[in-house]
Amino acid sequence: MMFIWPLIGIAIFFMVTSKHKTYTRSNYSKTPEDILKERYAVGEIDEETFERMKKNINS
């Protein structure tokens, strides 16, 4: 019994903290332009594609 309560407490702690991290990493707060800039920054899209997509977003 002495070992069960600390294990339950640790399990609850990790469930709560992992759930919080999932919500803070969400993309819901990013604008389409932010996502586009990130894709350009990592090299996923080239400059021409970036400019074309940026123009589409802002129109």
pLDDT in tens, the chain (59 residues): 778 888 888 888 887 776 555 445 555 678 899 999 999 999 999 999 999 999 999 88
Which residues make Cβ contacts (< 8 Å) with residue 38, sequence separation at least 6? none
pTM of this structure: 0.51
